[in-house]
Structure 1
Amino acid sequence: MSDVFLAIDAGTGSARALAFDIEGRLVTQAGREWSHPAVPGHPGGTTFDTESGWVAIASAVSEVVERLAGRRVAAVAASSMREGFVLYDESGAEIWACPNTDGRARAEADELVAEGAADEIYRTAGDWVSITAPARLRWIARHEPGILSRARHLGMLSDWVTTRLTGRFFTEPTCGSSSALFDIRARNWSPELAAIVGVDPGILPPVVESGQQIGTVTRAAAAATGLPVGTPVISGGADTQLALHGIAAREGVPTIVAGTFWQTTAVVAEPIIDPERRLRTLCHVERDAWMVEGIGFLSGLAMRWFRDAMCPDAASTAQLTGSSAFSVMEEWAAEVPPGSNGIVATMASVMQADAWHQAAPSFIGFDINDAKGSSRGAFIRAIEESAAIVAAGHLDILGALTGGRAAAEGAVTFTGGSSAGALWPRVIAGVTGLDTRVTPAPEATSYGAARLAAQGIGASLPPMGEPDRVVRADTAEHEAYRSITARWHRVYRDVVSISGPDLPPLFTPPGAARRPLAPRPTTADHLG
């Protein structure tokens, strides 16, 4: 009956609440899947519904509180997807919000590129303008000017959770820096970038470091969640950085944080800005650390879609065996050899922040005359191989940026929801040639938030323990994956070319001549 520390995670695909005890053990959890509606008339646009979102979060928290049966929640901290943000009016009511998937501001991003502002933003903030606040705020000014004139506060999505709990407005460097309005070296808002966008700096909230108490649970929040009034609320942060904090990631061993999207990351002691504008750099949890990452869109979401659309029987089979639908799906995929019997899944490309062209999600190479070879297991394995190949591309870039320091120990850590799988770590080891260290539990992001919740009241949770599995890279399998990887990149390039103009190479494998860097007239095609 000892105290617990509550983590609330507003992720891309779900809202979750998890309680951990002082030893770092997961006590109980609850979640609610959600999705983000399209914006009519604006291709690529998605909105974040703050009302239904808060209902989902409050419901998950209430379920956890009920299961705790009187056990005290000592403190709460929130994590969230990045890039998404909320605008509030003078009364503190939400008047506009978007998730990280919102891609409606392409024209405004193109304008920032043409003006040369995108380069300055990248040099200062470490991220491009494709799906970050500068282009989105310009979109609001153009299409919904009344919203911007009424805005008195801006908060990222993890900030929004804490504001709902406390009524106070703050941000912290990990999620705040994903706005592309931060000076990542100063770990604070950049007045110069705010001026470029034309946003009133007065709407940007004060910045505190992660792990500091922001306020306490209000009466209204207590009524919605079941948390006691006065429960301390601590600044949390961005999902990827909190996952790295949860596992105590260090320089020398990169980490794949595998959720709805996959982030392939390296912790660095200085804010490295990619001179070829491929990856992005954000503030890490610790004051003297930053994080460089490449993002693989759809990697986890593609598996969830395939489960729901193509494998309705996997859940019923899982109930009989006491496993999960994803475990059943991986058993089918494990029967298929590397290369997925020729099937290639085009779900996401290796990141090129300033010209990031995504292919339409598709499968290539299946044989309708060979039902056994083109089985569901082959499609599932193709999804997993696609994610691993994109992660390997990001690892190659991280190695180049850090002079080989990123993977100096010959291993990669695999954490997040996808790490619960049995096959996926083997595929990663085969594709990358690196020993794949799987964390003891996939809830690294929430555990990082719980560690910060404890820190905020002077307590301490240990970092997540040593990996419970290490999948060694098989030399023969890695050699087989070289040609499989090369074919995947060729196919991906061809699929992109079907719907777009003649484009520069999406990814140049190590050892090949790299393309010259030149300004581009267009920015990313987000999610195809």
Structure 2
Amino acid sequence: MTRDPVVLAIDAGTGSARALAVALDGSVVARAGREWSHRAVAGHPGGTAFDTAANWALVAEAVREVVTALDGRPVAAVAASSMREGFVLYDGRGRELWACPNTDGRARGQAQRLVDEGAADRIFALGGDWVSITAPARLRWIAEEAPEVLAEARHFGMLSDWVVTRLTGEFTTDPTCGSSSALFDLSARSWSAELAGLVGIDPGILPPVLEGGEIAGRVTPDAADATGLPAGTPVVIGGADTQLALHGIGAVPGAPVVVGGTFWQTTALVDRPVIDPERRLRTLCHVEPGSWMVEGISFLSGLAMRWLRDVFFVDAVAARGPSGAFDVMEELAAAVPPGSNGLVAVLANAMQADAWHHAAPAFVGFDINDPERFGRGTFVRSVEEAAAWVVRAHLAILDELTAGAAGRSGELVFGGGSSGGRLWPQLIADATGRTVVTSTVAEATSYGAARLAAAAIGAELPPAGGGERRLAPEASAVAASDEAYRRWLAVYDAQVRATGAAGIDPLFTPPGGLHYRPARPTDREKKDTNG
């Protein structure tokens, strides 16, 4: 067996911990994962906690499984990635006091008060994100509901930082995850003493900021015992999941990227910290120094397809398996004309960070007297088209914010699990009028972390490739998509208002959100549509 070294990536995701060993030629040598969930916090609706003890045990199990599979092959360096927004507070001895994942929603009241005080405006202007699910409101919640925790806290870190701290005992952060706290000054790519003071925390608890690829420390004997990694192995700064996915596939400015998984992110890389004056999309630091990422998030687009599969395609799952069932679904959807015969799936709304109200999920416009035109394939196509409309809305805003730079190439890269479909990439091409280049690389986030680990030891992993297709928009479908997109905007506006009026639970309502403002085509898009 070859003794050539590998680099190891650890990803603390929303639903699981994963470990990935990558050879210095870019090939994946071993992988392992452990699923986890985040327990509800009793007495606090929407609250979820991150169990640091149990979840570290799962991380360590996954890493040990990979190390065992390497059978003595050396690990040259380790880097970590994680979900964004979640964070950990530690005491003076480095013990975890409090931790939450990105899904924690306890701080609704505190977020609203930040809005009422005008503090949310300043946070967005400096930090590029709203207070709905970021650290300022959560820290206010801790100060009010668990003041003894904040009094004892001596260190603060994001969840990827937590992995590094568990491995090395060092407290650090990087700009990609650190900026998701909304406590960063984006221009400085570092913590903002002003925002820390505004929230009411001691800036001294905020860790040093290192750029991705810098060495944070080395694996301690305790971490070596837990994971099987050799003590002294260099631990390298990684970062946030979406940014590392972009780094993994080698995204460049001028070609926007959609990362399609459970949630979808429509992103553009820029060379300055662009702040949306209308507070629609958010901005975070990207991996490379001097780079930032503007992002629109689509809620649960991938999950909606899985729901359809599990409820309406049980027969296909039994015959073809869970993955093969998606092929069956898209075969049926491909036979349906653009616009889904007028059926509109009401799922995710276009992002409006400070007023991001979603409707209750619904299907609008089907005819129960016409099962031939409104069969299962029509519902599948309507779900895929609904995701494509959100991508179109986000791309229009990205073009506006970047003076057209985000669409300069006329292409759109589509990565993540959803990009592996046969139909979905074509629908996005037709909805946006752009050529879609798919990148179906598995575990792009972990590969991006591995690239940083390799760089720290003087090696260079190439951007991940494989599975690429180029899908040009079809002229007749583009025209039909324009009409269907305008219908979706109107239906969604009506449905979100009806959801509120009827008191029905929406897909999502933002903590600290302002009054609902309907999504609309931007001035640029109106010009394009009207000629």
Query: For residues 71 and 388 of structure 1, what CA distance do their matches in structure 2 show?
Result: 44
CA deviation map 1:242-277 (0-9, x unaligned) = 112112212211111122211111111111111111
Deviates more, 1:440-449 or 1:500-509: 500-509
When residues 105 and 388 of structure 1 are mapped into structure 2, their CA distance, relative to the original with a 3 A threshold, is same
Q: Does 1:505 align with 2:517?
A: yes
Give the 5 Å matches for 1:41-440.
41-319=43-321, 324-368=324-368, 373-440=373-440
- Secondary structure of the equivalent of 1:406? helix
- Do the aligned partners of 2:330 and 2:423 also contact (CA within 8 Å) in 1? yes
> Structure 1 residues 38 and 241 mapped into 2: Cα distance closer, same or farther (>3 Å)?
same
Task: Write the distance in 1 (CA, Å) between the matches of 2:324 and 2:478.
Answer: 28
Alpha-carbon distance in structure 2 between the residues aligned to 1:368 and 1:34: 41
Counterpart position of 1:18: 20
Query: Aligned partner of 1:138: which letter?
Result: R
Q: Which structure 2 residue ranges, 5 or more long, are not aligned?
A: 502-513, 527-531
Q: Distance in 1 between matches of 2:145 and 2:447?
A: 40
For 1:281 and 1:369, locate their aligned partners in 2 and report how far apart those are by CA, in whole Å: 47
Letter paired with 2:298: G
- Give the conservation status (yes or no) of the 8 Å contact 1:345–1:383: yes
Distance 2:524 2:23 in 1: 50
1:283 to 1:512, Cα distance in 2 relative to 1, 3 A: closer
Paired residues of 1:36 and 1:47 also in contact (CA < 8 A):
yes
Instruction: Tell me if structure 2 keeps the 8 A contact 1:277–1:354.
Output: yes
What is the identity, as a one-letter code, of the residue corresponding to 2:295?
E
Cα deviations by residue, 1:77-106 (Å, 9 ceiling, x for unpaired): 111111111112233222222222222212
Q: Which runs of 5 or more residues in structure 1 are unaligned?
A: 515-528
SS of match in other structure, 1:490: helix
- C-alpha deviation, 1:414, in angstroms: 0.8
- The aligned counterpart of 2:507 is none
- What's the TM-score, normalizing by structure 1? 0.90
Q: 1-side partners of 2:24 and 2:475: how far apart?
A: 42
The Cα shift of 1:310 comes to 4.8
Q: Is the 8 A contact 1:85 1:98 kept in 2?
A: yes
Secondary structure of 1:244's partner?
helix
Question: Matched residues in 2 for 1:49 and 1:203: separation?
Answer: 21
Task: Please report the RMSD computed on the Cα atoms of aligned residues, expressed in angstroms.
Answer: 2.4
CA distance in 1, matches of 2:329, 2:34: 22
Paired residues of 2:489 and 2:520 also in contact (CA < 8 A): no
Larger CA deviation: 488-497 vs 327-336 = 327-336
| 1:36-71 CA-partner distances (Å, limit 9, x unpaired) | 333333333222222332233233323323333332
TM-score under structure 2 length normalisation: 0.90
Q: For 1:449 and 1:164, locate their aligned partners in 2 and report how far apart those are by CA, in whole Å.
A: 17
CA distance in 1, matches of 2:356, 2:424: 25
Shift in alpha-carbon separation, 1:307–1:31, aligned structure 2, 3 A: farther
2:416–2:440 contact (8 Å) kept in structure 1:
no
Contact map agreement 1:78 1:449 (CA 8 A) in 2: yes
Give the secondary-structure state (helix, strand or coil) at the position aligned to 2:242.
helix
Q: 1:472 to 1:244 in 2, by over 3 A?
A: same
SS at match of 2:406: coil
Paired positions, count: 512
Give the residue type in structure 1 aligned to 2:522: P
Which AA in structure 2 matches 1:360? Answer: A
Per mean C-alpha deviation after superposition, the further-off stretch among 361-370 and 113-122 is: 361-370
**How many angstroms apart in 1 are the aligned matches of 2:297 and 2:281?**
8
> CA contact under 8 A between 2:91 and 2:152: conserved in structure 1?
yes
Distance 1:243 1:72 in 2: 25
SS of equivalent residue, structure 2 residue 268: strand
Query: Aligned partner of 1:359: which letter?
Result: A
CA 1:114–1:455 in structure 2 vs 1: closer, same or farther (change >3 Å)?
same
Q: Which residue of 1 aligns with 2:505?
A: none
Q: Is the 8 A contact 1:419 1:442 kept in 2?
A: no
Q: Deviations over 1:192-237 (max 9, x none)?
A: 1000000111221111111011122233333333323222211000
Distance change (3 Å), C-alpha of 1:90 and 1:467: same
Of 29, 32, 36, the residue aligned with 1:30 is 32
- Distance in 1 between residues matched to 2:135 and 2:452, nearest whole Å: 26
Partner amino acid for 1:107? G
In structure 2, distance between residues paired with 1:239 and 1:331: 32
Contact 1:13/1:260, CA 8 A, preserved across alignment:
no
2: distance between equivalents of 1:146 and 1:121? 25
CA contact (8 A) 1:349 1:506 kept: no
Name the structure 2 match of 1:481: 481
| 1:21 to 1:325, Cα distance in 2 relative to 1, 3 A | farther
Q: Higher mean Cα deviation, 434-443 or 234-243?
A: 434-443
Query: Displacement, 1:361?
Result: 2.9
Which stretch of the first structure deviates more once superposed, 297-306 or 185-194? 297-306
Residue 419 of structure 2 aligns with an amino acid whose one-letter code is: S
1:400 to 1:298, Cα distance in 2 relative to 1, 3 A: same
Is the deviation greater in 310-319 or in 28-37? 310-319
Report the Cα offset of residue 453 of structure 1.
0.7
Q: Following the alignment from structure 2 to structure 1, what is the Cα–Cα distance between the partners of residues 407 and 351?
A: 19
Query: How far is 1:347 from its partner?
Result: 2.3
Q: Deviations over 1:168-206 (max 9, x none)?
A: 211010100010000111111111100000011122111
Q: Conserved in 2, the CA contact under 8 Å of 1:88 and 1:151? A: yes
Q: Taking structure 1 as reference, are residues 35 and 496 closer, same or farther at Cα in structure 2, changes over 3 Å only?
A: farther
**Closer, same or farther: CA 197–28 of 1 in aligned 2, 3 Å:** same
